[in-house]
Amino acid sequence: MKRLLILEDGTVFEGEGFGAEANVVGEVVFTTSMTGYQETITDQSFNGQIITFTYPMVGNYGVNRDDYESIAPTCKGVIVKEHARLASNWRNQMTLDEFLKRKGIPGIAGIDTRALTKKLRSVGTMKGSIVDPADQLEHSFDQLKATVLPTNQVAQVSTVTPYPSPGVGRNVVVIDFGLKHSILRELSRRECNLTVMPYNTDAQTILDLCPDGVMLTNGPGDPKDVPEAIEMIKQIQGKVPIFGICLGHQLFSLANGADTYKMKFGHRGLNHPVREIATGRIDFTSQNHGFAVDETTIDPEKLMVTHVEVNDGTIEGVRHRNYPAFSVQYHPDAAPGPHDGVHLFDEFMEMMDAWKEQA
């Protein structure tokens, strides 16, 4: 089944369709991950995006029950060079094709992903659409150009009602901006008693739960589209320890006077080297974000930069100078990816314990 990938600059790629047969519009991005396509597709930070995999073959080990980062993925589509029709792995439960069909997500194979990625690197991410060749191309382009991408992405993926993930240890409130299950996994491994709350939960509701700490999770889109979360962070910092990841890092920085900006093509992959400034330690990290904190806007009396990206020097971590609170741009929980940064969860545990002793 022939399908087309069209970009808003007029570029057309022809390929073979797999997965669902839907026509979709989304922001076309690329990830340099060599593995972990199931975790990537089910990561809610890809909400509304069409994911280009730079690794040549995708789908060869199928889809299994263990590697979901969410149950209902909300990416718009999948672009690959070669789609593996047969899946060979002892954990395999279904093929990638079958999984995408069940989730209503279209895929397109046979695309020159190298050329597509080079284009996105040179001109930046852009709107794209997966359509049928039988459709009138001019009309498809008109529809693509007229489509306004949504800005309520966090509201689309955050839980609507609070729910518990019981444990026997520290009480942690998790603010869900589009969380990955691996964050809950790491906290549960440390026996934390978790309460997951919607993105728009107010500060008093959080403090009424008497948490030992608050986790600000990852999520999709522009952090400035979630002003209620920024206000909430302002009101809880100093009253409870905070750990922010990815979107949570950007929101924490905005709450302390810094600014954020949209990157040209973002960081998406498992191989991003990050340097801890204090020690010089290099961690290879899993990342998925299209926005970053502007270093020139950081108030040195409030925030201290703790980590930077080795390749482009962008901000990868900050710590509050006066309160027990820190955040990182990358995913220390990984999934998929290297677990170099997983020690940050232990630092969060130590921070909560130290805060409790002072109280």
The answer to whether 83 is a known catalytic residue is no
pLDDT, residue 108, reads: 98
Does 135 score more than 90 pLDDT? no
Is 280 a known ligand-binding residue? no
Does 190 score more than 90 pLDDT? yes
pLDDT, residue 336, reads: 85
pLDDT, residue 134, reads: 82
Catalytic residue, chosen from 67, 97, 176, 333, is 333
Does 254 score more than 80 pLDDT? yes
* Averaged pLDDT for residues 93-106: 98
pLDDT bucket at 351, cuts 50 / 70 / 90? very high
Is 207 a known ligand-binding residue? no
The answer to whether 246 is a known catalytic residue is yes
Catalytic residue, chosen from 83, 176, 331, 340, is 331
Is 10 a known ligand-binding residue? no
pLDDT bucket at 346, cuts 50 / 70 / 90? very high
Does 18 score more than 80 pLDDT? yes
The answer to whether 331 is a known catalytic residue is yes
Is 219 a known ligand-binding residue? yes
Is 120 a known ligand-binding residue? no
| Residue 9 amino acid letter | D
Catalytic residue, chosen from 246, 272, 283, 320, is 246
Does 168 score more than 90 pLDDT? yes
* Averaged pLDDT for residues 73-97: 96
pLDDT bucket at 320, cuts 50 / 70 / 90? very high
When the pLDDT of each residue in the chain is averaged and rounded to a whole number, the result is 96
Kindly report the three-state secondary structure assignment for every residue of the chain.
CEEEEEECCCCEEEEEEEECCCCEEEEEEEECCCCCHHHHHCCHHHCCEEEEECCCEECCCCECCCCCCCCCCCCCEEECCEECCCCCCCCCCECHHHHHHHHCCEEEECCCHHHHHHHHHHHCCEEEEEECCCCCHHHHHHHHHHCCCCCCHHHHHCCCCCEEECCCCCEEEEECCCCCHHHHHHHHHCCCEEEEECCCCCHHHHHHCCCCEEEECCCCCCHHHCHHHHHHHHHHECCECEEEECHHHHHHHHHCCCCEEEEEEEEEEEEEEEEECCCCCEEEEEEEEEEEECHHHCCCCCEEEEEEECCCCCEEEEEECCCCEEEECCECCCCCCCCCCCHHHHHHHHHHHHHHHHC
User: How far is residue 141's CA from residue 131's CA, in Å, rounded to a whole number?
Assistant: 10
